[in-house]
Amino acid sequence: MSTPKKLFIKTYGCQMNVYDSERMGEALAGEGYVATDRAEHADLILLNTCHIREKAAEKVYSELGRFRPLKEANPNLKIGVAGCVAQAEGAEIIARQPMVDLVVGPQSYHRLPELEAKAQRGEKALDTDFPEEDKFEHLAKRPKAGRGPTAFLTVQEGCDKFCAFCVVPYTRGAEVSRPADRVVSEARDLVERGVREITLLGQNVNAYHGHDGGLAGLIHALADIDELKRIRFTTSHPNDMDDALIAAHGEVDKLMPYLHLPVQSGSDRILKAMNRKHTAEEYLRVLERIRAARPDILISGDFIVGFPGETDADFEDTMSLVGEVGYGQAYSFKYSSRPGTPAAERDEVAEDVKDARLQCLQALLGQQQRATQDAMVGRDVRVLFEKPGRLDGQMGGKSEYLHAVHVMGEGIQPGDLRDVRITETSSNSLAGELLSAG
């Protein structure tokens, strides 16, 4: 019996990359690979990259440089770059780092087995096409091995919005939705393996059209799976929050009361420059309708400060919008240029101004997040437990609002759903006491 080859995957960026890395590992399992969490033990190293953050490509080249001693010590080691940086850089990666054996874009990783075979023959393997075939149909059926209680499930890829700051339309391509029957089938397989909560993923997930009823129709179909207890989705665009999806937040008990809905700016002038195709007022009215459907929903968002042309007045509009919404959670970043995007050709705001605005915004968002968590003390929540905590006898999980919650208690197992009364809050989590036996 041959010794299994070892695969090390390092994943950068969003939840979709986490899902993609799982599927890459499964694709290569058929070629005799087993996972390792030690790069120095690997026969194949894969970097699954993200192009969203600042200087993403340079960070990948730096990471590759750290693997050079491993390659020198083991000439049989193969190194690959996958994901959005692979798509954007293509053959340039191999030209700059000849030790790289294969480069594969996010739409082509179903071809990894043949690319790996080519690399094993000593050839450079490159595939950054946008193939016509559905990669999910060409991936091997997911193994039946047990797994943790939560899982990501990609249902939509690509984006047609072309926001002026974003590389996704260029690295992930046009919007494509997976057929609902295939999504439901994969969800059933995950549930059979122990999954109780599924997060539906897409670059613009609420533009999903693989079901006649859109994303709302898919959510209703998934809710019929008995042992699937929770459904979430991310990331959404305000323009695609249709009536049915808003109504689903009030109609589907399994759809959790948490919504990540990025706005990026509170200034109509900047939103137009970003090509967001909605105003601040339209965003607020969408949230108003969502809260009418599900009054207890926790809203999360994304913000970019210092977008080219942003004035003090524009930034104050953003602060005003944040004050009106009251975010339970949010992510905020300084604008950084992405080559090839329209905004990259514009004059940038001074770095010290960006820094000051980001600190001001994050202070307000942090205050709102702390207030949201403080308000949970004394409330009863339903926690899906996932893994042991840091202390003996402690278990941690997530509430329906996606807050991290930990309790002390015997007999709690991963996958248990238990009622918990919140007793205290800290900066990043909540503590509570068990109320139910199961």
- Report pLDDT digits (tens) over 6-61: 999 999 877 888 888 988 998 898 889 999 999 999 999 999 988 766 677 788 88
Please report how many Cα atoms fall inside a 13 Å half-sphere around the Cα of residue 380, on the Cβ side: 6
The per-residue pLDDT for 87 is 86
For 315, the enclosing helix (H) or strand (E) is helix 312-325
Residue 179 scores a pLDDT above 70: yes
Residue 20 is predicted with a pLDDT of: 87
Q: The whole model's pTM is what? A: 0.84
**Axis crossing angle, helix 180-192 with helix 214-223, rounded to the nearest 10:** 30
The pLDDT of residue 43:
95
The one-character DSSP state at 121 is T
Average pLDDT over residues 135-150: 70
The predicted pLDDT at position 238 comes to 97
Note the pLDDT of residue 97: 92
Residue positions counted in the chain? 438
**DSSP H stretches of helix in 37-111:** 56-73, 84-89, 91-96
Interacting residues of 285 by C-beta distance below 8 A, sequence separation 6+: none
Contacts of 6 (CB under 8 A, 6+ apart): 33, 34, 35, 36, 41, 42, 43, 44
- Model pLDDT, residue 338: 85
What are the residues whose beta carbons fall under 8 Å from the beta carbon of 355, sequence distance 6 or more? 334
- Inter-axis angle of helices 312-325 and 351-374, nearest 10: 10
Q: How many whole angstroms separate alpha carbon 356 and alpha carbon 115?
A: 47
Q: What is the average pLDDT across 380-403? A: 94
Bridge partners (DSSP) listed for residue 384: 398, 417
- What's the pLDDT at 109? 84
Q: How far apart are the first and last CA of the chain?
A: 45
Would you place residue 147 in the very low, low, confident or very high pLDDT band (cuts 50, 70, 90)? confident
Close Cβ partners of 195 (under 8 Å, ≥ 6 residues apart):
147, 148, 149, 150, 151, 228
Domain 141-256, second-level architecture: 2-Layer Sandwich (3.30)
Q: Check residue 168 and give its pLDDT.
A: 85
Contacts of 2 (CB under 8 A, 6+ apart): 32
pLDDT at 132 over 80: no
Q: Where are the domains of the chain?
A: 5-127, 141-256, 380-434
**Which long-range contacts link 252-255 to residues 24+ away (Cβ below 8 Å)?**
252/219, 252/220, 252/223, 253/223, 254/222, 254/223, 254/228, 254/229, 254/230, 255/219, 255/223, 255/231
Average pLDDT over residues 113-142: 79
Q: What is the DSSP string of 380-434?
A: EEEEEEEEE-SSTTEEEEE-TT--EEEEE-TT--TT-EEEEEEEEE-SS-EEEEE
127-141, 157-171, 222-236, 261-275: least confidently modelled range: 127-141
SS3 call for 345: helix
Mean pLDDT, to the nearest integer, of 402-414? Answer: 92
* Model confidence at 437: pLDDT above 80: no
How far, in Å, CA of 297 to CA of 288, rounded? Answer: 11
pLDDT at 423: 97
Q: How would you label 357-385 residue by residue, b for 16+ Cβ within 10 Å and e otherwise?
A: bbeebbebbeebbeebbeebeeeebbbbb
Architecture of domain 5-127: 3-Layer(aba) Sandwich (3.40)
pLDDT for res 15: 83
Q: Is the pLDDT of residue 405 over 90?
A: yes
* CA 373 distance to own-chain centroid: 23
- b/e map 303-317, b = 16+ CB within 10 Å: bbbbbbbbeeebbeb
Residue-wise pLDDT tens digits, 193-247 = 999 999 999 999 999 999 999 999 999 999 999 999 999 999 999 999 999 999 9
The whole-angstrom separation of Cα 62 and Cα 167 is 21
What is the amino acid identity at position 386? E
pLDDT at 146: 66
Spatial CB neighbours of 363, under 8 Å, sequence gap ≥ 6: none
Predicted confidence at residue 53, as pLDDT, reads 63
Distances (CA, A) of 123 to 22, 115, 120, 338, 406: 25, 9, 7, 31, 50
Q: Which CATH superfamily is domain 380-434 in?
A: Nucleic acid-binding proteins (2.40.50.140)
Output phi, psi for 164, to 5 deg. -65, -20
Span 368-378, average pLDDT: 96
- pLDDT of res. 362: 98
Cα 412 to the center of its chain, rounded Å = 28
Angle between helices 214-223 and 243-251 (to 10 degrees): 20
- Report the pLDDT averaged over residues 164-175: 87
